[in-house]
Amino acid sequence: METFKGVTVLEAVITCPTCGARAQETMPENACQYFYTCTSCGVTLKPLQGDCCVFCSYGDTACPPKQTATDGRTLSC
């Protein structure tokens, strides 16, 4: 997972699948983010089927709830 000795990572780079733009964003600590608007092309991203949030679908780091889950599932999404 993306934790380091119990520390949850709150920053992620999200990549737009439409235009390829990348942006570093801060993830919410206790919730999953379902929508994200690309800062370059303006398309609204939603999670892919089976993912809990846009960071799990398009980010380089899983969301904090998934990082802290002990069984691989999200706890508070």
- pLDDT score of 46: 97
Contacts of 13 (CB under 8 A, 6+ apart): 22, 23, 24, 25, 59, 60, 61
Query: Mind listing the pLDDT tens digit for each residue in 17-57?
Result: 999 999 999 999 888 899 999 999 999 999 999 999 999 99
Domain parsing of the chain, residue ranges? 11-68
- pLDDT score of 9: 92
Confidence of residue 72 (pLDDT cuts 50, 70, 90): low
The residues facing 36 across adjacent strands are 45
Confidence of residue 5 (pLDDT cuts 50, 70, 90): low
- pLDDT score of 30: 84
